[in-house]
Structure 1
Amino acid sequence: MKNKGPLYVLTCYVIWGLLPIFWKLLAQVDSLYVLASRIVWSMVLTGGILLLRRDRLAGVRAAFQDRREWGLLAAAGCVVCVNWGVYIWAVANGHMIDSSLAYYMNPILAILLGTVLFRERLTKLQWLAVAVTFAGLVITVIRYRQIPWIALVIGGSFAVYGALKKQVRSDAAVSTFVETLTLAPFALVLIFWMEAHGTGAAGVLSGWQWLLLLSVALYGEAFTATHAILFGFVWTGLILYLISGTRESRRHREEEKPCV
C-alpha cells in the first residue's frame, strides 16, 4: 500500500489539473448554484461509500456526539466551502491562472501556518522558500498595484482547511461526509431558492449537461510578465521546499538505520 502512495498523489494532481475544464463547462450556471450542487452530491457520494462500508458508520455517530470534533469538521466545511466557491467562480470568470497559482502557493502557506499554530520548526531552506514566495507577492503588488486576492484566498483557505483537518480524529470518508452533511441543508435551500427565482440551472442546462453537476491554451487568458515573475518566484519557493523535505526524509532514514 505504501508503494502506491506516489501513484495516488499523481492521480489526484492529474484530476485537479483537469478540473478547470470541467468547471468551465458550467460557466453559464451561477457559481453559487454549482457550489451548492457540489456540496450536496459530495454528501451523497461519501454517504454511499460509508453505507457500503458499514463499519465506518460508527465513526459518523462518534463525530456528531463529540462537540469538539463536530465543531472542527463544521469549521473545516465552511472553510473548504469558501475554497471551492472562489475557485469555481475564478475559473468561470476568466481567472484560471490565478486559481492555478493558488495551489502552487498552498504548500508555502501551509508550512507558514504550521509555524504559527503548531509551532513547527522550519529548516533554513524552508524559510528561504517562504521568503522567495513573499518576494514574488511583493513584486506583484508593486507591478499590479493590487493584491492577488484570488490566489491568496484559495491557497490560504486550503491551508487553513488542512490545519483544521490535522486536529480531527475522523478518517477521510467520515470527515468529508460530516462536513458536507452539515452544509447540505443550506446548500439545498440555496438550490431551491435559486430555481424558484429563475437563477438556477433549469433553462440553462439541457440533456447530458445536467450530469456535469454530479487554461491558457484552451481559454486564451492573458499571461502577463507579472504573472511570469510571480510564478517564477512561487515555483522557486516550491522547489526549495521540496528539496528541504527530501533532505529531511533522507536525514530521518539515516538516523533510523541500526548501528552495526
Structure 2
Amino acid sequence: MSDKSLKIGVALAVAAYAMWGFAPLYFKLLMVMPAAEILVHRVVWSALLLVILVFGFKQIAKVKSALKNPKVIKVLLFSGVLLAGNWLLFIWAVNNGHLLDASLGYYINPLLNVFLGRIFLAERLRRMQKVAVIIALLGVLILLFSYGELPWIALLLASSFGIYGLLRKQVAVDSLPGLLIETMMMLPFAFLYWIFFASQMSNMFSNEVALNGLLIGAGIITTAPLLCFTGAARRIRYSTLGFFQYIGPSIMFILAVYLFGEPLHEARMVTFGFVWLALVIFSFDSYRAYRKSLKSLAV
C-alpha cells in the first residue's frame, strides 16, 4: 500500500464518519413521515444519483463486469439487504428518541470490526486490542445482567454495519459500481412500497417544494458517506478503519444529550463508560500502529 493511498483512505474515513454523525439533524426534519417511507426515498433518489455518477465517471464497464460475476451479485445482494436494514433501523431510532442507542451502536462497531477482522480476514489482534474488546463486552454484559436491559438497537446497528463493511471489503468491485448494484437491487421493493403503502406525503405532486427537496436530498445524504466509507475500506486495514469511527457516534452523542434532550440514565452511562474506556485503549493502540506503518512506508 502506497503512502498516497493510505492518506486518501484516512481522509475518506474521516469524511464518512463526520457526515454520518450529523445525519440525524437531516432525518429529524422528516419526522412527519414513517421510517420505512423515508427509507424508500433514500433508495430511490440514491439510485438516481448513483446512475448519474457512474456514467459521469465512466464506470459503467465496471458495473457490467460485476453483473457478469454470480459470486459478486450474491455478495452484493446480501450486503444490500444488510444496508437497507441498517438504514431503516437508524432512521427509526433517530426519529423515535433513541439516538443515544444509535450512538452506542456505532461506538461498539469499531471494536466489532476488530473481532470480525480476526475471524474472517485473519488479521491478528494485538494485546491492547484484545483488552479493548473485552472491556466493551463487559460494559454490554453489565447493562444486561445488572439492569436487565439489552441494548438491541445498538447491537443490531453495530453488527449489521460491521458485516456489511466486511462483505464490501472482500468483494472484487469498486465502491461506486458496487453501491449502484446494491441500491438497484433495493429499488423494486422501494417502488412497490411507494405505490401500495406510502402515505399522501410521498405524493410529490401535492407536496410543498421544501419537503420534496428534503426527500430528494436524502439521496445525497445517503450516498456521499457510503462512497467515502467503501473507498476507505479498500485502502486501509479493516481494523484500522475502526480507529476513525468514534467521530460519528461522538457527534450523535452530543446531539442526543444536548440538542434533543434524550435521558442518559445511570445504567446507560455505565455502559458508555466501559465502551469509552475500551475506545481510549483501542485508539491509543491504533495510533501507535498507524505511526509504525508510516515509518515502514518511509523506509
TM-score (norm 2): 0.79
Match of 2:147, as an amino acid? Y
Tell me what 2:209 maps to: 207
- In structure 2, which of residues 244, 251, 257 is the aligned counterpart of residue 216 of structure 1? 257
CA distance in 1, matches of 2:14, 2:115: 24
Q: CA deviation at 1:110?
A: 1.2
Tell me how large the CA RMSD over aligned residues is. Answer: 2.1
Indicate whether 1:246 and 2:246 are aligned. no
Q: After superposition, where does 1:1-260 map in structure 2 within 5 Å?
A: 3=7, 5-54=9-58, 56-195=59-198, 198=199, 201-202=202-203, 206-214=208-216, 215-254=256-295, 258=299
What's the CA shift string for 1:96-138, capped at 9, x where partnerless?
1001111111100111122222232101100001001001001
* 1:257–1:6 Cα change, 3 Å: closer
CA distance in 2, matches of 1:99, 1:246: 25
CA contact (8 A) 2:50 2:180 kept: yes
Aligned residues: 255
Between stretches 72-81 and 212-221, larger displacement belongs to: 212-221
5+ residue gaps, structure 2, are 217-255
Between stretches 58-67 and 2-11, larger displacement belongs to: 2-11
* 1:221–1:163 Cα change, 3 Å: same
What's the CA shift string for 1:66-100, capped at 9, x where partnerless?
00011111111101111111000001111010011
Query: RCO (CA 8 Å, sep 6+): is it higher in 1 or 2?
Result: 2
* 1:191–1:144 Cα change, 3 Å: farther
Q: CA deviation at 1:257?
A: 6.0
Match of 2:80, as an amino acid? G
Match of 1:212, as an amino acid? L
Between stretches 203-212 and 80-89, larger displacement belongs to: 203-212
Match of 1:172, as an amino acid? S
CA distance in 2, matches of 1:130, 1:47: 40
TM-score (norm 1): 0.90
What's the CA shift string for 1:148-167, capped at 9, x where partnerless?
00000001100000110011
Q: Equivalent pairs: percent with the same residue?
A: 31
CA distance in 2, matches of 1:77, 1:200: 26
CA contact (8 A) 1:83 1:158 kept: yes
CA distance in 2, matches of 1:245, 1:10: 15
Q: CA deviation at 1:253?
A: 4.5
Q: Who wins on radius of gyration, i.e. which is larger?
A: 1
